[in-house]
Amino acid sequence: MADLHVSWDDYHASIERLARLVHESGWQFNQIICIARGGLRVGDMISRIFDLPLAILSTSSYTGEAGTVRGEITVAEQITMTSEHLGDRVLVVDDLVDSGITLEVVRDTIAQRYPHVQALRTAVIWHKACSKFKPDYAALYLPDDPWIHQPFERYDLMHPDDLLKDVGA
């Protein structure tokens, strides 16, 4: 199984494809929650396309070795949002569903903490076959389990001093 290397152009086109799938489904929602960090860019673009409020729920499960080692999942206590209340028809977005644990925990956490939410669906760019969680929408289905190299991952290993090397003396 080869790694999947994604360019910025492919990344953006995949998010647009995901937005098209959600739109074509006809499902009406009034709130987008992105799972940070991987879902931040996805959520931003989807929020802009649908002109709906974006909320951010931070989670952490990958640590060490530039974010390649899976650990225990942690979900933030609060959702960050500019609206006074969370909508009742929520689209949760992330970059990918790998094991499925994050989306499953987030779905259950939202249901527990926000009982007024009447409907919740999930959307990701990449759905790996190995996932035990099936998202409602996925731009791309991956029948194997490649490591996905996203275009922003170069910053995982970058330090501010590295930026000085690019500037002429």
Q: Which of 26-40, 113-127, 143-157 has the lowest mean pLDDT?
A: 143-157
At 25, list the tokens.
């489904």
**Which domains are assigned to the chain?**
4-158 (3.40.50.2020)
Express as a percent the part of the chain with pLDDT over 90.
Answer: 74
- Examine the pLDDT at 51 and tell me if it is beyond 80: yes
pLDDT at 23: 98
Q: Which of 56-70, 103-117, 119-133 has the lowest mean pLDDT?
A: 56-70
| Best CA proximity match to 33, nearest among 125, 107, 101, 84 | 107
Quickly state the pLDDT bin for 169 (edges 50, 70, 90): very low
Which residue would you say has higher pLDDT here, 165 or 13? 13
Which residue would you say has higher pLDDT here, 154 or 22? 22
For 55-84, write each residue's pLDDT tens digit. Answer: 999 998 755 554 555 568 889 999 999 988
pLDDT at 97: 95
Say if strands 54-63 and 69-75 run parallel, antiparallel, or are unpaired.
antiparallel
In contact, 105 and 92? CB cutoff 8 Å: no
pLDDT at 153: 87
pLDDT at 62: 56
Q: What is the pTM of this model?
A: 0.88
For the sheet with 69-75, list strands across it. 69-75, 54-63, 31-36, 89-97, 119-128, 137-142
pLDDT at 61: 76
